């Protein structure tokens, strides 16, 4: 084991260096933790050692726990997890107490963590058990405890130590939101103790070790006089914090995220007891979270598979296709956003619209975002100038010369798009890839306007482009491998997450989200309480209820899509119940949020007030209401079955893309790990039974797809089946 090595200098300062040979970022394994423990034992026992510096041989300190450790612990069951976690606590507590006399708290050896860069998860929990944390002033470094983002929480003492260090209120954003900070911000927040110039990091650490007094080694929580900053739950100020925190977290998560609940439990209960008991409570809650299938599903989609897709798991094997010069046609909401993210990633952009004013407005969109960044201290004036200098706003197609990728984001109109395609192809070289950002028009149909259909592809961004991280890449029938690689390389350059799907009406994301909106409107028309519909969705962890989402995406768009779909499907069109709501609303002139009037009522300032009271007269609420579970099953199955059908139809070819795309694209219940993750959690047999019940009551739209029914019959599930298929 060589992840950690220890050397001792002539002044008696031992340096333990973390440097995992096979990885670019240090991650902690079980064996390495045990080895580290042994090194500390040796340092504490060696009379020649006065103190210890814990640092890294890499530019960063550590990225966190090796996820295999978590998987192994989980495989062993609750007792193995609990014992494993308590074992970690023991090691960290040993470092913290540093061989001091437990009564007099004297005679310990100082331990300082010297962080050259990023320190995340266990990479911060370990420093939190040291006596001092010094970080290099490295603006690229991220310091924090992001566990909650993947459905767990800091379980190696990070929760207990941070709350005791900062108080529950101040620790909340770091624990509950996984907020990451630069070293300077981490110092201001009180998470770390010092920030020094990178070249002085080790010298300063050594200086501190040599000067440390006994009192410097006693953690505040080991001091008899310790009082938790901001107060414990039964202190008047603490009471406000804890009551408020519970309400705030429940308000935000609706109890749908097991990790957030467990974290609150660990913090609240831990605050009422001595430190070592609090660690044990933390371990209990952590065990509960790891045993919950939600954490497996979230880690799989939001951590492992998201990264796998970003690294190009489904990229065709063709040479690098990084974009050098991008053309964007249409400087409206989407085009302006695409121009910004590309210029911000260092790509030269030509932004074209039909008038100079519209093109300039598109460029000004970037200016607006950059100005906001400057206000928040995230962007410098130089960076703003540099990004804006990369965007040429014009009406002149000749400026596209030299572009290797052009994305059109003009009106959603086949004729307009066809004209633009021809104009672009006349202006660019023969190798240029042409992409459309259409959200509804099939790619193969639009490609008919192209003289190079093999270089024609869909690159579907989500709104707002600078915030939404998913990009759906759509292969048309004729699209070749180089075009797919180009789109994927572009998405990598702008640091977003891609999924690659095949061409069909609405592709993947919109195909699944539209039935969710529609099911909400069907229930409204049936007389289900709108509040029941919306709250049922939120209790599932959906960010917006279907009716709110209808307003946000606009009734106008809904009507447009309904008309186009009806025209394409003719007699097979299945959504007349939905149209009843959509067309009536349009007739009332209530077009949604943009119009300040929709299914919800809005104030003049555009604040959402509540469900519009005019709905009740048109769609009278029935006396008998469905139960919450039925409403939830309808809302979930509407999306999930469409995802399964997309897989059956070959629109999706990889369930990892289906799950990651669902969470990032439309916020599908993240705790579930995605539609396929959810189906695996409840099991195909139960899912099929739900489908059968819903089909009997509501019709064939809930019929279980053959793939799901087969799984139910054979006891199979999606992820194991997919692994077998991929192998």
Please report, as ranges, the residues that interact with ligand NAD according to CB under 6 A.
Answer: 329-335, 352-354, 358, 409-412, 416, 419-420, 437-439, 460-461, 463
Q: How far is the CB of 510 from ligand NAD (least distance, A)?
A: 9
Query: Helix, strand, or coil here: 7?
Result: strand
Tokens of 354: 């039909």
The nearer residue to ligand NAD, 213 or 415, going by C-beta atoms, is: 415
The nearer residue to ligand NAD, 29 or 354, going by C-beta atoms, is: 354
- Beta bridge pairs of residue 181: 143
The nearer residue to ligand NAD, 357 or 648, going by C-beta atoms, is: 357
Q: How far is the CB of 441 from ligand NAD (least distance, A)?
A: 7
Catalytically annotated residue among 285, 365, 460, 633: 460
Q: How far is the CB of 537 from ligand NAD (least distance, A)?
A: 20
The DSSP element (H or E) to which 64 belongs, if any, is strand 64-65
The nearer residue to ligand NAD, 135 or 341, going by C-beta atoms, is: 341
Question: Nearest residue by C-beta to ligand NAD?
Answer: 332
**CA–CA separation, 509 and 556 (whole Å):** 19
CA angle, 22 then 25 then 31, to 5°: 60
**CA–CA separation, 126 and 65 (whole Å):** 11
**CA–CA separation, 325 and 357 (whole Å):** 22
Query: Helix, strand, or coil here: 686?
Result: helix
Q: How far is the CB of 564 from ligand NAD (least distance, A)?
A: 11
Q: How far is the CB of 427 from ligand NAD (least distance, A)?
A: 12
Contact status, residue 434 vs residue 425, Cβ threshold 8 Å: yes
Q: 156 CB contacts (<8 Å, ≥6 apart)? A: 65, 85, 88, 89, 92, 122, 125, 126
The nearer residue to ligand NAD, 294 or 437, going by C-beta atoms, is: 437
The nearer residue to ligand NAD, 191 or 409, going by C-beta atoms, is: 409
**CA–CA separation, 333 and 365 (whole Å):** 9
Burial group, residue 650, by CB count within 10 angstroms (0-12, 13-18, 19+): exposed
Contact status, residue 685 vs residue 716, Cβ threshold 8 Å: no
Q: 704 CB contacts (<8 Å, ≥6 apart)? A: 641, 687, 688, 691, 692, 695, 712
Burial group, residue 352, by CB count within 10 angstroms (0-12, 13-18, 19+): buried
The nearer residue to ligand NAD, 397 or 612, going by C-beta atoms, is: 397
Q: How far is the CB of 589 from ligand NAD (least distance, A)?
A: 20
- Give whole-number Cα distances, 58 to 55, 177, 208, in Å: 9, 27, 22
- Give whole-number Cα distances, 675 to 158, 296, 307, 522, in Å: 32, 14, 19, 21
Query: Helix, strand, or coil here: 138?
Result: coil
**CA–CA separation, 139 and 256 (whole Å):** 35
**CA–CA separation, 489 and 180 (whole Å):** 27
Contact status, residue 673 vs residue 300, Cβ threshold 8 Å: yes
Q: How far is the CB of 582 from ligand NAD (least distance, A)?
A: 18
Q: How far is the CB of 331 from ligand NAD (least distance, A)?
A: 5
Q: How far is the CB of 330 from ligand NAD (least distance, A)?
A: 3
* 460 annotated active-site: yes
The nearer residue to ligand NAD, 388 or 416, going by C-beta atoms, is: 416
Task: Look at the block and give the residue holding tokens 């590309």.
Answer: 342
The nearer residue to ligand NAD, 323 or 474, going by C-beta atoms, is: 474
**CA–CA separation, 183 and 114 (whole Å):** 12
**Residues labelled as active-site residues:** 460
């Amino acid at each position: 084991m060589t992840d950690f090595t220890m050397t001792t200098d002539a002044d008696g300062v031992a340096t333990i260096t973390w440097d995992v040979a096979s990885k670019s970022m240090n991650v902690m394994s079980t064996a390495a933790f045990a080895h580290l423990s042994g090194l500390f034992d040796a340092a504490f026992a060696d009379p020649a050692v006065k103190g210890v510096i814990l640092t890294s041989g890499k530019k960063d300190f550590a990225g966190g726990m090796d996820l295999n450790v978590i998987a192994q612990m989980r495989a062993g069951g609750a007792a193995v997890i609990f014992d494993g976690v308590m074992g970690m606590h023991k090691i960290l507590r040993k470092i913290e107490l540093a061989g001091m006399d437990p009564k007099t708290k004297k005679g310990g050896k100082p331990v300082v963590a010297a962080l050259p860069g990023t320190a995340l998860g266990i990479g911060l929990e370990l420093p939190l058990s040291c006596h001092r944390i010094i970080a290099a002033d490295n603006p690229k470094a991220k310091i924090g405890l992001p566990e909650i983002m993947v459905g767990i929480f800091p379980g190696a003492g990070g929760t207990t130590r941070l709350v005791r260090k900062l108080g529950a209120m101040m620790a909340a954003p770091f624990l509950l939101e996984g907020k990451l900070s630069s070293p300077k911000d981490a110092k201001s927040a009180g998470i770390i103790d010092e920030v020094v110039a990178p070249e002085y990091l080790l010298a300063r650490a050594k200086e501190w070790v040599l000067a440390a007094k006994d009192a410097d080694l006693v953690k505040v929580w080991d001091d008899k006089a310790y009082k938790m900053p901001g107060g414990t739950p039964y202190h008047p100020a603490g009471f406000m914090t804890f009551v408020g925190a519970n309400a705030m977290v429940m308000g935000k998560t609706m109890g749908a995220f097991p990790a957030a609940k467990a974290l609150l439990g660990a913090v609240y209960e831990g605050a009422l007891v001595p430190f070592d008991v609090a660690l044990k409570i933390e371990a209990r809650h952590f065990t509960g979270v790891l045993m919950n299938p939600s954490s497996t599903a979230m880690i799989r989609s939001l951590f492992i598979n998201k990264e796998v897709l970003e690294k190009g798991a489904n990229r065709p094997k063709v040479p690098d296709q990084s974009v050098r010069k991008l053309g964007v046609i249409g400087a409206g909401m989407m085009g302006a956003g695409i121009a910004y993210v590309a210029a911000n990633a260092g790509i030269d952009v030509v932004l074209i619209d039909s008038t100079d004013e519209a093109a300039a407005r598109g460029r000004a969109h970037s200016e607006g975002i950059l100005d906001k960044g400057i206000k928040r201290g995230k962007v410098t004036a130089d960076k703003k100038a540099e990004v804006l200098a990369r965007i040429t706003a014009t009406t002149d197609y000749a400026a596209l010369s030299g572009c290797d990728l052009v994305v059109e984001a003009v009106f959603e109109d086949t004729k307009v798009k066809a004209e633009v395609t021809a104009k672009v192809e006349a202006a660019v070289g023969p190798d240029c890839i042409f992409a459309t950002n259409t959200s509804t028009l099939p790619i193969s149909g639009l490609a008919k306007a192209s003289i190079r259909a093999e270089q024609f592809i869909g690159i579907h961004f989500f709104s707002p482009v600078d915030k939404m991280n998913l990009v759906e890449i759509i292969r048309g029938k004729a699209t070749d491998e180089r075009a797919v690689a180009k789109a994927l390389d572009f998405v990598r350059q702008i640091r977003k997450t891609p999924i690659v799907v095949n061409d069909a009406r609405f592709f993947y994301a919109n195909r699944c989200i539209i039935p969710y909106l529609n099911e909400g409107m069907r229930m409204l028309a049936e007389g289900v309480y709108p509040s029941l519909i919306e709250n049922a969705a939120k209790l599932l962890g959906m960010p917006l209820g279907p009716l709110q989402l209808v307003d946000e995406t606009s009734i106008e768009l809904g009507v447009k899509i309904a008309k186009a779909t009806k025209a394409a499907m003719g007699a097979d069109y299945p959504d007349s119940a939905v149209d009843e709501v959509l067309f009536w609303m349009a007739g009332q002139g209530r077009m949604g949020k943009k119009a300040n009037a929709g299914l919800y009522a809005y104030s003049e300032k555009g604040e959402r007030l509540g469900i519009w009271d005019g709905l009740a007269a048109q769609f009278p609420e029935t006396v008998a209401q469905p139960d919450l579970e039925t409403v939830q099953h309808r809302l979930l199955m509407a999306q999930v079955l469409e995802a399964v059908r997309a897989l059956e139809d070959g629109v999706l070819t990889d369930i990892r893309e289906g799950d990651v795309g669902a969470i990032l694209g439309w916020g599908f219940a993240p705790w579930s790990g995605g539609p396929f993750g959810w189906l695996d959690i409840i099991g195909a047999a139960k899912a099929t039974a739900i489908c059968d019940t819903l089909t009997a009551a509501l019709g064939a739209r809930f019929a279980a797809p053959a793939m799901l029914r087969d799984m139910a019959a054979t006891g199979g599930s999606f992820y194991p089946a997919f692994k077998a298929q991929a192998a």
